[in-house]
Every structure is written in structure tokens, then in C-alpha cells.
């Protein structure tokens, strides 16, 4: 166990954000299990902006109590030390680093995502409103500003089992980036990959006349062919991955959430075809990450 108190380097490690909440504990267990199964180092980051003397609230607190930062830092270090002992007991042989960073959690984890293998966060953290079915504010910011793939772990921890990896696939840059990750995850886990494309008749058509002329069976065939073509470059060098193509008529959100019940992982792009250029997190991605029953990887294509 290594404890650092400055901004660490991700260096290809699996990174997980921890704030002591139940959601963060779920994310930590998931990340540690994943790291142990892949013989990958784990970086546990506790980012606490109130430990920074330049923080306005902290500066005011220091005027009233000069030992405020020292006491708060010692408390956080003790919490991390206890956490490290638990990780050592639960995951023998796991190499991990505990980092205490006096900065904003969203900014810290977003920056680390550029070099991390994966960044893992809970769907809701200590600051989230439990009564509302919304993605936690910090988690949402990390996904929106990440420079690499982010895994969102639901509140009810989903076991790492033999369920398939489900990929929401479209002919869109973020979705294709998700496709490459999904293929790799299916290969690493030794599970099938389900490539899912959901289409809704109303958004697909611009006028009622076109709707009348639409042949659903022909549309299904055309979309299945498109799906097959999209998969060809993604599967190059991954011949051992078993793939099922699934074209579903209906809401993409509903189809993905239904698939999450039996999947070990969902992989989606941050934005699909419906997202405009300035949109950081699409509406479907936002809904799926907050309602999925299994962990979700959100990916983005960078130029």
C-alpha cells in the first residue's frame, strides 16, 4: 500500500474515485475486483477540495481555527489507511495506491482519465440527493469532461459474472469509440458481445407519407447489414469474440435498460447521432447511466 498526498499519475492504471459514500464503496469493490482479475494496478483517489488552503471556505475556516487543514488531513489519511488495510485483506496480491488530493473530485478524475485504463465512479456519491433518480453531480461532470472511458457503477452492485457485454452501436464517432472498448471488454472477460441498434419509427422518418411507405422488415434487414458493416473493423484481430447482432424497433433507452438486467456490462457512446456538437453528454447516455442495473462504460471519440 502506498499513500500519496499530491496529484498522482494514472499511468495506465484503473482509477476509482472514493468519498466514503455507499456508491463510492460499490465503485471501489468493482474497480478492485476488475484490477485484481487483470493483474492491473489500482489507484484510489480521495479528492477533498476543503483541504486546499486556497479554497475560500477553507481560508475562512483557517482564520477561525489555524489547525483546520492539518486536522482534516489527518482524519482523511486515517480513513484511507483503514481502507487500505481492508483492500489488502479482501484482495491479497493487489497492488494499489491511495491518493489524497486537495482538489475538486470531478476535475481531478477527469484529468486522470486521459492516461487511465478506466476511471470508475459510483452512480451517486456523498453529495448526491438520494431521493431523486438522477446521476450524481460529480459523476455526471466526470463523464462530461473525461478524456477516456468512464465506468459508472450502479447503487446495487452488479456481480462480475458471465453475462454478455452489450454495446449500443450507431454510425457515430462516440459510438464507434465505444465499440472498440466493448470488443476488448468482451474479450478480456471471455463473454459474448451483443451489438444492439434500436430504431424508433417516429424519429427515423420526417413525414407521415414516408411512414406509410416504410417496410419494417426491409428496414430491419438494412439496419442489420449496417450493423454488420460497422462491426467488421471493430472485430479485426478479435476473432475469438462471439458476437450477436440485435436490431430492435423502439426506444434505445428502453432497449439498453432491458439488456442491462442480464448483462455484465453496457458500453455506450457519450453522444449518438441526435447529439449536437456542443453537447457533452447525450440524453440517452444520461438516462442509461443513472438507471442501468449493471455497470456502464461511457466513451467518447477524441480528435
Asked if the structure places residue 158 within a domain, the reply is no
Those residues with Cβ within 8 angstroms of residue 131's Cβ, 6 or more apart along the chain or in another chain: none
pLDDT of residue 173: 79
How far apart are alpha carbons 303 and 289 in whole angstroms?
24
215 and 139 assigned to the same domain: no
pLDDT of residue 2: 62
Q: Model confidence over 191-200: pLDDT tens digits? A: 999 999 988 7
Other CB atoms within 10 A of residue 249 CB? 14
Q: Model confidence over 142-174: pLDDT tens digits? A: 888 888 999 999 987 666 678 999 999 887 778
What domain count does the chain have? 2
pLDDT of residue 130: 42
186 and 135 assigned to the same domain: no
Q: Which stretches of the chain score pLDDT less than 70? A: 1-3, 5-7, 124-136, 157-160, 201-214, 271-282, 302-303
Beta bridge pairs of residue 98: 3, 44
The grid cell for 232 is 467488421
Give Dmax (Cα) for the chain: 75
42 backbone dihedrals φ, ψ, rounded to 5°:
-115, 135
State the residue range of the domain holding 117: 2-153
Which of 119, 153, 187 terminates a domain? The answer is 153
pLDDT of residue 208: 45
217 and 76 assigned to the same domain: no
Q: Model confidence over 78-101: pLDDT tens digits? A: 999 999 999 999 999 999 999 999
For the chain, what's the residue count? 303
Q: Quick one: which H or E segment has residue 197?
A: strand 193-199
pTM score, two decimals?
A: 0.85
Q: CATH no. for residue 270?
A: 3.40.50.12370
Q: Answer yes or no: are the C-beta atoms of 139 and 124 closer than 8 Å.
A: yes
288 and 187 assigned to the same domain: yes
The grid cell for 128 is 448526491
Asked if the structure places residue 14 within a domain, the reply is yes
DSSP H helices, the chain, are 22-38, 56-64, 68-90, 105-112, 137-145, 173-189, 201-204, 208-213, 216-234, 252-259, 283-291
Asked if the structure places residue 160 within a domain, the reply is no
Which of 114, 132, 153 terminates a domain? The answer is 153
The grid cell for 111 is 484529468
Q: CATH no. for residue 112?
A: 3.40.50.620
Asked if the structure places residue 140 within a domain, the reply is yes
pLDDT of residue 256: 93
Asked if the structure places residue 293 within a domain, the reply is yes
Question: 237 in the Ramachandran plot: left (φ > 0), alpha (ψ -120 to 50) or beta?
Answer: left
Amino acid at each position: 500500500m502506498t499513500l500519496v498526498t499530491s496529484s498522482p499519475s494514472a499511468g495506465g492504471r484503473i482509477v476509482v474515485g472514493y468519498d466514503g459514500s455507499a456508491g463510492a464503496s460499490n465503485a471501489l469493490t468493482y474497480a478492485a475486483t476488475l484490477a485484481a482479475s487483470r493483474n492491473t494496478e489500482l489507484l484510489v483517489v480521495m479528492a477533498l477540495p476543503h483541504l486546499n488552503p486556497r479554497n475560500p471556505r477553507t481560508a475562512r475556516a483557517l482564520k477561525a481555527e489555524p489547525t483546520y487543514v492539518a486536522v482534516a488531513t489527518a482524519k482523511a489519511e486515517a480513513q484511507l489507511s483503514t481502507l487500505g488495510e481492508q483492500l489488502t485483506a479482501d484482495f491479497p496480491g493487489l497492488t494499489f495506491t491511495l491518493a489524497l488530493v486537495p482538489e475538486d473530485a470531478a476535475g481531478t478524475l477527469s484529468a486522470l482519465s486521459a492516461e487511465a485504463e478506466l476511471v470508475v465512479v459510483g452512480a451517486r456519491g456523498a453529495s448526491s440527493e438520494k431521493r431523486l433518480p438522477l446521476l450524481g453531480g460529480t459523476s455526471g461532470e466526470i463523464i462530461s469532461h473525461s478524456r477516456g472511458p468512464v465506468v459508472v457503477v450502479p447503487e446495487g452492485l452488479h456481480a462480475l459474472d458471465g453475462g454478455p457485454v452489450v454495446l449500443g452501436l450507431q454510425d457515430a464517432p462516440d459510438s464507434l469509440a465505444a465499440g472498440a472498448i466493448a470488443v476488448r471488454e468482451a474479450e478480456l472477460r471471455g463473454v459474448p458481445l451483443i451489438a444492439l441498434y434500436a430504431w424508433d419509427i417516429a424519429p427515423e422518418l420526417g413525414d407521415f407519407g414516408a411512414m406509410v411507405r416504410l417496410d419494417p422488415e426491409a428496414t430491419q434487414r438494412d439496419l442489420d447489414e449496417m450493423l454488420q458493416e460497422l462491426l467488421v473493423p471493430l472485430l479485426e484481430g478479435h476473432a475469438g469474440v462471439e458476437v450477436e447482432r440485435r436490431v430492435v424497433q423502439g426506444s434505445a433507452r428502453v432497449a439498453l435498460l432491458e439488456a442491462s438486467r442480464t448483462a455484465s456490462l453496457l458500453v455506450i457512446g457519450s453522444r449518438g447521432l441526435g447529439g449536437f456538437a456542443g453537447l457533452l453528454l447525450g440524453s440517452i447516455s444520461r438516462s442509461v447511466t443513472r438507471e442501468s442495473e449493471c455497470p456502464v462504460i461511457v466513451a467518447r471519440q477524441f480528435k
